[in-house]
């Protein structure tokens, strides 16, 4: 069966510090991968998605970046965090084959920028 | 810009009653529709998907889709306290992306 893992689960970072969140998917090949952010009291905002190794699409301008160095690995990064980067970050995946656009989420990472 | 609208709630229903959650979307070419449940502090989990007009039933859950009215709903029968959560409506178009609503918070009272 397919599983998705995301880490770290929580982190508190000072303004201006770097960020690295990592996500891996097991039990599938060539999935679509996504990074979403959910700010307090707000909906899910798509940040990045990837259809393959090295292929990244950015949905919103921001100081975040994403990379996909391996087929089932997706990384969210920042060189200098802002207070507004605080939120709940969710990695998600979509199987290459299957019904519609169903996506499945990882456990999420809570980021607090102080 | 594609939009998905939901009433934020909270929607309060007594235990055993039917909870009705609604969602409208703006993009007429949307092809896939999903309901996710999100408990406080947790990630969303998929409850239902629906692609064709009409009703789709899965246990206590029924999803209803009306593409002409750009409307999708979720009915929860025999509501239980464990159903208390935020329900997210998501809509997919031709690309491999989903647009989410802000969610409706459901409270099932004893």
- Kind of pairing between the strands at A44-52 and A104-105: unpaired
Nearest to A13 by CA among A82, A91, A63, A77: A82
Nearest to B12 by CA among B103, B74, B89, B81: B81
Contact at CB, B97 and A106, closer than 8 angstroms: no
Number of A/B CB contacts below 8 angstroms equals: 50
Report chain B's C-alpha Rg in angstroms: 13
Of the listed ranges A17-26, A31-40, B59-68, the least confidently predicted one is: A31-40
- Smallest Cβ distance to A101: which of B92, B102, B103? B92
pLDDT, mean of residues A41-51: 88
Percent of chain B predicted with pLDDT > 70: 96
Comparing B41 with A1, the larger pLDDT belongs to: B41
What values do phi and psi take at B56, rounded to 5?
-135, 125
DSSP code, position B53: S
Comparing A9 with A40, the larger pLDDT belongs to: A9
- Smallest Cβ distance to A107: which of B43, B46, B49? B43
Q: Which residue in B has a C-alpha nearest to residue A107's C-alpha?
A: B43
pLDDT, mean of residues B56-73: 96
Q: Is B60 exposed, middle or buried (CB count within 10 Å of its CB: 0-12, 13-18, 19+)?
A: middle
> How many Å apart are CA B15 and CA A25, to the nearest integer?
38
pLDDT, mean of residues B38-64: 95
- Smallest Cβ distance to B98: which of A99, A101, A108? A101
> What confidence score (pLDDT) does residue A89 get?
97
pLDDT for A64-105, tens place per residue?
Answer: 999 999 999 999 999 999 999 999 999 999 987 665 678 999
Of the listed ranges A20-34, B25-39, B48-62, B86-100, the least confidently predicted one is: B86-100
Mutate to test the interface with B, among A52, A88, A100 (most CBs of B within 10 A): A100
pLDDT, mean of residues B42-71: 95
Burial code (b: 16+ CB inside 10 Å, e: under 16) for A30-40 equals ebbbbbbbbee
């Amino acid at each position: 069966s397919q599983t998705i893992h995301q880490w770290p689960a929580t982190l508190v970072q000072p303004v201006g510090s770097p960020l690295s969140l990592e996500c891996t998917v097991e039990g599938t090949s060539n999935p679509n991968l996504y990074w979403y952010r959910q700010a307090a009291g707000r909906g899910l905002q798509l940040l990045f998605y990837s259809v393959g190794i090295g292929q990244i699409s950015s949905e919103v301008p921001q100081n975040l970046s994403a990379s996909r160095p391996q087929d089932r690995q997706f990384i969210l990064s920042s060189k200098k965090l802002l207070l507004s980067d605080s939120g709940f970050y969710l990695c998600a995946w979509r199987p290459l084959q299957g019904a519609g656009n169903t996506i499945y989420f990882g456990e999420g990472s809570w980021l607090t920028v102080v | 810009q594609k939009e998905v609208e939901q009433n934020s709630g909270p929607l309060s229903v007594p235990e055993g009653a039917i909870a009705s959650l609604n969602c409208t979307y703006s993009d007429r070419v949307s092809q896939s529709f999903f309901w996710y449940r999100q408990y406080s502090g947790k990630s969303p989990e998929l409850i239902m998907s629906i692609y064709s007009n009409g009703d789709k039933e899965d246990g206590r859950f029924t999803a209803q889709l009306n593409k002409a009215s750009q409307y999708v709903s979720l009915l929860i029968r025999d509501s239980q306290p464990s159903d208390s959560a935020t329900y997210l409506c998501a809509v997919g178009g031709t690309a491999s992306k989903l647009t989410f609503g802000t969610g409706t918070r459901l409270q099932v009272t004893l």
